[in-house]
């Protein structure tokens, strides 16, 4: 069983190697939410292109997105792939967002209640909901994604086939005694993403990896 100290050590090593990540990019909580919906199964660079299209057409607004014809919205979202599906999901999210009272009203909900509400939206799964909770609403929720599973499986801390909720709760418990959990979870997740993109790839690049000494692949 890996200890809380080990989880903190991995964070410290990555933070020392890469520094603060200033994640999640976005000029407003709503823009962060849109990015979270669009980033499913695509790269962030593609999401940025789609967001530029929305901004350029004056449509980075929930009502504007709802009012935009499906085909036009889908054309703006083409860079993210599955653009027809994502256009439908984004419209569903925006409809829910307006009906729920938008950011100020939603921010009054406790974290569990807000998470349940997010998960009720068509196309919003646990990872997307937790991205929104952590980065838009600044709640202490640890995001579990494929990068997290890959990295911590290779470190030998997890089996890798655990359910999403089991892993999320486990990470949060391991780190719950650390100060400023929102900031820690924000930096930790963004560092994992950076590390997995450049070192802990599907085919790992072990040379120069700051976690090399702790990895089961090279031990």
pLDDT in tens, 139-153: 999 999 999 999 999
pLDDT at 210 over 80: yes
In a 3-state reduction of DSSP, which class is residue 95?
Answer: helix
Name the CATH topology of 29-136.
Endonuclease III; domain 1 (1.10.340)
Mean pLDDT of 11-30: 95
Say which residues have a Cβ less than 8 Å from residue 148's Cβ, sequence separation at least 6. Answer: 167, 171, 189, 192
Q: Are 48 and 60 in contact (CB under 8 A)?
A: no
Alpha-helical regions (H) of 57-199: 62-67, 70-76, 83-99, 102-106, 111-119, 126-131, 146-154, 164-175, 181-198
Query: Which tokens in the block code for residue 94?
Result: 């925006």
Give the chain's largest Cα–Cα span.
56
DSSP at 151? H
Using 50, 70 and 90 to split pLDDT, how confident is the model at 2?
Answer: low
Burial of 153 (0-12, 13-18, 19+ CB in 10 A): middle
pLDDT digits (tens, 9 = 90+) for 156-179: 999 988 999 999 999 999 999 888
Domain range list for the chain? 4-22+143-214, 29-136
User: Taking Cα atoms as reference points, which of 142, 106, 144 lies closest to residue 127?
Assistant: 144
Q: What is the pLDDT of residue 25?
A: 86
User: Taking Cα atoms as reference points, which of 15, 23, 1 lies closest to residue 195?
Assistant: 15
Using 50, 70 and 90 to split pLDDT, how confident is the model at 4?
Answer: confident
Q: Model pTM?
A: 0.94
């Amino acid at each position: 069983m890996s200890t809380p100290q080990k989880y903190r050590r991995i964070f410290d090593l990555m933070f020392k190697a890469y520094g603060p990540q200033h994640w999640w990019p976005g000029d407003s909580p709503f823009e962060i939410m849109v990015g979270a919906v669009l980033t499913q199964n695509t790269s962030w660079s593609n999401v940025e292109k789609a967001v530029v299209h929305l901004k350029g057409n004056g449509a980075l607004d929930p009502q504007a997105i709802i009012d935009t014809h499906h085909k036009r919205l889908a054309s703006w979202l083409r860079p993210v792939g599955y653009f027809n599906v994502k256009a439908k999901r984004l419209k569903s999210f925006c409809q829910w967002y307006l009906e729920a009272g938008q950011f100020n009203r939603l921010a009054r909900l406790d974290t569990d209640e807000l998470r349940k509400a997010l998960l009720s939206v068509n196309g919003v799964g646990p990872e997307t909901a937790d991205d929104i909770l952590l980065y838009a609403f600044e709640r202490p929720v640890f995001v579990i994604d494929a990068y997290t599973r890959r990295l911590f499986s290779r470190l030998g801390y997890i089996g890798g086939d655990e359910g999403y909720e089991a892993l999320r709760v486990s990470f949060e418990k391991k780190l719950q005694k650390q100060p400023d959990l929102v900031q820690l979870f924000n930096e930790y997740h963004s560092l994992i993403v950076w590390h997995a993109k450049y070192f802990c790839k599907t085919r790992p690049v072990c040379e120069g990896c700051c976690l090399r000494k702790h990895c089961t692949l090279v031990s």
